Amino acid sequence: MPSDLWDFAQRLYGRPGVERACLQLQEAGADVCLLLCGAWLQRHGVACTQARLSHLQAIAQPWQAEVISPLRQLRQNWRTAAQQQTPLATLRERLKELELDAEQQLLLALQACAHDWARASESAVPAWLEALAGTDADPDALQLLRDEAMQA
């Protein structure tokens, strides 16, 4: 399997409508890093199994809870105050960079986990996005992500 998850995630996230769709799915409870990984796996034709989902979630959940979410929450908490205080705005930008670095490290760990997973058979449908998004996910946002992933 190609080792390009981080590059793929950056390309995909920069495509029209993808950032908005990802944030919408995140608000509904989805993990954007897992969705980006799922889109990457789906694009490469890797079959989605419960065991594989469990492996990816076991990597992502603690990293999200202990590293990414606290950075994101602090950055969001500082949004208003940073508009009025230049030093705080500078610190907020550094937090944003740390959050992005943390997401990159998570994607690298997810990629390492999936490194040896083979492509699915022709008849298998890799339903990663549906499995990772949860039941409250907007189907239009998922479809946009799926479509754009094939172009990224």
pLDDT tens digits, one per residue of 70-107 = 999 999 999 999 999 999 999 999 999 999 999 999 99
Domain residue limits at 125? 5-151
In the structure, what pLDDT confidence band is assigned to residue 21 with cuts at 50, 70 and 90?
very high
Query: What's the rounded mean pLDDT across residues 55-62?
Result: 97
What's the rounded Cα separation, in Å, for the pair 93 and 47?
38
Query: What's the rounded mean pLDDT across residues 3-26?
Result: 93
Q: In Å, how far from its chain's centre is CA 16?
A: 16
pLDDT at 17 over 80: yes
Closest alpha carbon to 16 in 127, 107, 151: 151
What's the rounded Cα separation, in Å, for the pair 93 and 75?
8
Structural domain count, the chain: 1
pLDDT confidence of residue 93: 95
- Indicate the pTM of the whole model: 0.90
CA-based torsion, 65, 19, 115, 97: positive or negative: negative
pLDDT confidence of residue 123: 53
DSSP 64: I
